[in-house]
Amino acid sequence: MKKWKSRGIRVERELARKLWSKGFAVVRGPASGARAKHLYYPDLVAFYKGRIFVFEVKYTSRSNNITLRTSQLKKLKEFKNRSGGEAYIAVKQPGRDWVLINLDDIRYSNDTKYVTIKLENHISLEYFINTVTNIELGEYIEEKN
Amino acid sequence: MKKWKSRGIRVERELARKLWSKGFAVVRGPASGARAKHLYYPDLVAFYKGRIFVFEVKYTSRSNNITLRTSQLKKLKEFKNRSGGEAYIAVKQPGRDWVLINLDDIRYSNDTKYVTIKLENHISLEYFINTVTNIELGEYIEEKN
C-alpha cells in the first residue's frame, strides 16, 4: 500500500516536471494525508499565461479503464468552478503515455459512488501541451500580421 | 527553529481557509523541505474566476518591516510570469492583520542578497479580498466609514 502511494507521488512529480519544462507554472498539493484533514486540494495545478489547469493524478495498471469516486469528482468540480479553470484526470499506466480526461466529459449520476471511464478516445499529454502552447503561438502570429 | 516553522505552516493554513471561505480556490504547496529538492513551488496559490494569485507567506514578529531573499523574489517572479498571474508576499504578524505586498512594488538590485521592505502603505487581506471578489470599491469605502 505504501509502495503504491509513493508510486503515485513519483508520477505526480514526473507530470509536474514535464509541464514545467514546457513553460507551465506548476503547484503540487500537499500529500494526501495532510490534505484530508483540511481543505480539498487537487494533486496538481498548472498555469500557462493566465489559463488554469487542475489535475487529479491517477496511477493504474489496468489497461483499458479507470474507476473514480464520484465524491472526488464533485470536489474537483467545485474547485474547477471556483478557480475558473479546466479540470482533468491525468492517468499514468506503466509503459504507456499519459491519458488526460477532461472533467466535462465524465458523465455520472449523483447517486452512484463510483464511475468507470474507458481510457480510449481521450487526449495524450503531448496533445494537451501542444494545444495549449500552440494557441499562444497562433495568437502571437496573428498579432504580428 | 522547528516551532517557528510550524507557526509558518499554521498561518499558511489560516490564509488558505480565509481565501477559501470567500469563494477562492486555493492550493498550498508541499512543505518547504520537499520543495527544495525539486521544482520551485510558492507557499500558496489562489484562484478566483480565472484570476491567479501567487503567494509567499511570511510570519514575523518585527513590527515595521520584513527582510526577503532576492533569490526567492526572482523565483517568485519567474513563477508569476509563467502563470500569467499576480504575485504577493503575505505577511502575518502576531496580533495584527495580514499585509499583502505586490511583487511588482518591490524594488531591488540584482547584486544584493536581501531586500528589506516597510510594511506600511501596503494593502490588507480584507482590502485584497473585497477588491478581487467584485465588491464595488465605493461600497467598501462606505462600509469603512
How far does CA B82 lie from the centroid of its chain? 17
Task: Return the C-alpha cell found at A57.
Answer: 493524478
pTM score of the predicted model: 0.84
Q: Which of A31-35, A95-99, A139-143, B81-85 has the lowest mean pLDDT?
A: A31-35
Active site residue A21: no
Residue A24: list chain B partners with CB under 8 A: 82
Q: Which residues of B are catalytic?
A: 32
Nearest to B86, CA basis, from B25, B45, B58, B144: B45
pLDDT of residue A140: 54
Distance from CA of A48 to the nearest CA of B (A): 5
**Alpha-carbon distance values, A65 to A71, B62, B107 (Å):** 18, 55, 52
Counting residues of chain B whose pLDDT is more than 70, the rounded percentage is 83
pLDDT at residue A9, rounded to an integer: 84
- pLDDT of residue B101 exceeding 90, the answer is yes
Q: Is the pLDDT reported for residue B17 higher than 70?
A: yes
Of A23, A42, A80, the CB nearest to B27: A42
Which of A25, A31, A83 lies at the smallest CB-CB distance from B83? Answer: A25
Is A94 in CB contact (< 8 Å) with chain B? no
User: Which chain B residue has the Cα nearest residue A46?
Assistant: B83
Q: How many CB atoms lie within 10 A of CB B15?
A: 22
A81 φ/ψ angles, rounded to the nearest 5 degrees? -65, -45
pLDDT band at A143 (very low <50, low <70, confident <90, very high): low
Active-site entry in A21, A32, A71, A124: A32
Residues B133 and A25: their CA atoms lie apart, in Å, by: 24
Q: Distance, in angstroms, between A26 CA and closest chain B CA?
A: 7
Q: What is the pLDDT of residues A57-68, one digit of tens each?
A: 999 987 789 999
Residues A88 and A131: their CA atoms lie apart, in Å, by 15
Examine the predicted complex and report whether its ipTM is higher than 0.85: no
Query: How high is the pLDDT of residue A37?
Result: 54
pLDDT tens digits along B50-97: 999 999 999 998 778 999 999 999 999 999 999 999 999 999 999 899
